[in-house]
């Protein structure tokens, strides 16, 4: 791949409940605007129909803001990159249609991007606060929709070593939070309370799942039964023990993730480990990874907070890498709710 000068990518991400637009100059981020949709909080989860309507409202201002913050004229844009999938179909359709129209309007090529590849390739954004892994490396992608351990041989040669068989790790956080009566999205709140609690106060069973796969639905059920049992004896149980409960849930989740990651590193003998996805914003996971750096000699790669949760900058870096390879797509492209990482 020959790096070329002065490629400007305008990127759009709309796979779930964040509308985001970014501008990259080569592999550097000039702007990364994220419009978070608050409307879902009242419903305890993302409502697909409301998400796509909010994307329609947010997408034009987000793109305008991204261009304004980057301080470039839209005539300079070299290509439009957009999230094709996986995600909510109605949400993806908004970004896809908008990207297609923009590519016609600006007379520039269109580049489709797989959201999960983007979480992994976010590590290739050039940023003084981040270091870039070399190939091969192991990626742990943990988000509200996915949990995967991936062997990354090159930018576009990836192999899924294991993934969740049911709930994603973000869902495990969010559903546990819901059981505890916390608002959506509960992941960051569970983390907040966990910081003040004793991780060994309560114990929850770890699932027995083969190979490098995960399962989180059993954990959610055992938390539900535990809370029901305890509140029968003491209706104030959750309120009185919120910190310890959250710390114990988090301890179990991080333990499950790290056990599998250690196995994957052992089996592949690849000890460069990178994390990505919304849940990698969690400092307990970051700390667990750093711990393995010390004790097991791993090289660890942790993206900046704003490149962990859904954002268009990560779509832009994939756009840039595909631009260098001349990998463009035509106007016949459609959004893909189920879009495999390796297809």
User: Could you tell which of ligand KG4, Zn ion, none binds residue 339, using a CB distance below 5 to 8 A set by kind?
Assistant: none
CB of 225 to Zn ion, least distance (A): 30
Tell me, residue by residue from 293 to 312, as one string, x for binding to Zn ion by CB under 5 A and - for no binding. Answer: -----------------x--
CB of 68 to Zn ion, least distance (A): 25
CB of 144 to ligand KG4, least distance (A): 3
User: Could you tell which of Zn ion, ligand KG4, none binds residue 319, using a CB distance below 5 to 8 A set by kind?
Assistant: none
Query: Can you give the binding site for ligand KG4, defined by CB under 6 A?
Result: 16, 143-145, 170, 173-174, 185, 187-188, 191, 277-279, 281-282, 309-310
CB of 7 to ligand KG4, least distance (A): 26
Among 143, 164, 252, 280, indicate the residue that binds Zn ion (CB under 5 A): 143
Tell me, residue by residue from 308 to 337, as one string, x for binding to Zn ion by CB under 5 A and - for no binding. Answer: --x---------------------------
Number of residues binding to Zn ion, judged by CB under 5 A: 2
Distances from the Cα of 317 to the Cαs of 44, 85, 94, 324, in angstroms?
32, 16, 21, 11
Would you call 34 helix, strand, or coil by DSSP?
strand
Tokens 């309507």 belong to residue: 53
Query: 109 or 316: whose CB is closer to ligand KG4?
Result: 316
CB of 263 to ligand KG4, least distance (A): 22
CB neighbourhood size of 123 (10 A):
23
Tokens 């990364």 belong to residue: 32
The residue at minimum Cβ distance from ligand KG4 is: 278
Query: 216 or 226: whose CB is closer to ligand KG4?
Result: 216
User: Could you tell which of ligand KG4, Zn ion, none binds residue 174, using a CB distance below 5 to 8 A set by kind?
Assistant: ligand KG4
Q: Do residues 49 and 35 touch, judged by C-beta distance below 8 A?
A: no
Asked if 164 touches Zn ion (CB under 5 A), the answer is: no
CB of 188 to ligand KG4, least distance (A): 4
Query: 16 or 139: whose CB is closer to ligand KG4?
Result: 16
Structure-derived torsion over alpha carbons of residues 14, 320, 306, 197, reported in degrees to the nearest 10 = 90
CB of 87 to Zn ion, least distance (A): 8
DSSP-assigned states of every residue in 46-99: --HHHHHHHHHHHHHHHHHHHHHHHT--GGG--EEEEEEESS-HHHHHHHHHHH
CA atoms within 13 A on the CB side of 161: 22
**Pairwise CA distance, residues 110 & 327, whole Å:** 9
**Pairwise CA distance, residues 161 & 33, whole Å:** 33
Q: Do residues 87 and 145 touch, judged by C-beta distance below 8 A?
A: yes
Q: Are strands 147-154 and 157-163 parallel, antiparallel or unpaired?
A: antiparallel
Query: 143 or 300: whose CB is closer to Zn ion?
Result: 143
Residue 45 sits at φ, ψ, to 5 deg, of: 170, 170
Query: 184 or 298: whose CB is closer to ligand KG4?
Result: 184
Using the rule CB under 5 A, give the single segment among 45-53, 94-102, 143-151, 163-171 that binds Zn ion.
Answer: 143-151
CB of 314 to Zn ion, least distance (A): 9
CB neighbourhood size of 338 (10 A):
9
Tokens 């490149």 belong to residue: 307
Footprint of Zn ion (CB under 5 A): 143, 310
């Amino acid at each position: 791949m020959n790096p070329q000068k002065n490629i400007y990518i305008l990127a759009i991400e709309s796979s779930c409940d964040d509308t985001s637009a970014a501008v990259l100059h080569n592999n550097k981020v000039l702007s990364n605007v994220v419009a978070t949709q608050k409307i879902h909080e009242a419903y305890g989860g993302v409502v697909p129909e409301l998400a796509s309507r909010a994307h329609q409202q947010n997408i034009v201002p987000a793109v305008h803001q991204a261009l304004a913050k980057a301080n470039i004229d839209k005539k300079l844009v070299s290509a439009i990159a957009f999230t094709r999938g996986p995600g909510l179909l109605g949400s993806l359709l908004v970004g896809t249609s908008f990207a297609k129209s923009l590519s016609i309007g600006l007379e520039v090529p269109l580049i489709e991007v797989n959201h999960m590849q983007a979480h992994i390739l976010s590590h290739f954004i050039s940023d003084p606060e981040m270091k870039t892994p070399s190939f091969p490396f192991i990626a742990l992608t943990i988000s509200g929709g996915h949990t995967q351990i991936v062997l990354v041989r090159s930018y576009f040669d990836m192999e899924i070593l294991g993934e969740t068989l049911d709930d994603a790790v973000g869902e495990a956080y969010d559903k546990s939070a819901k059981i505890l009566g916390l608002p959506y999205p509960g992941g960051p709140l569970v983390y907040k309370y966990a910081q003040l609690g004793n991780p060994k106060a309560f114990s929850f069973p770890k699932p027995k799942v083969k190979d490098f796969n995960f399962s989180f639905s059993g954990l959610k059920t055992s938390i539900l039964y535990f809370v029901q049992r305890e509140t029968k004896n003491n209706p104030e149980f959750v309120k009185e023990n919120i910190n310890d409960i959250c710390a114990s849930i988090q301890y179990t989740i991080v333990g499950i993730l790290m056990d599998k990651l250690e196995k994957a590193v052992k089996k592949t003998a690849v000890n460069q480990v990178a994390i990505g996805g919304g849940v990698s914003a969690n400092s307990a996971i970051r700390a667990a990874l750093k711990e393995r750096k010390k004790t097991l000699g791993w090289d660890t790669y942790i993206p900046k907070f704003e490149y962990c949760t859904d954002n268009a900058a990560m779509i832009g870096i994939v756009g840039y890498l595909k631009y260098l390879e001349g990998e463009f797509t035509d106007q016949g492209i459609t959004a893909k709710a189920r879009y495999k990482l390796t297809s």
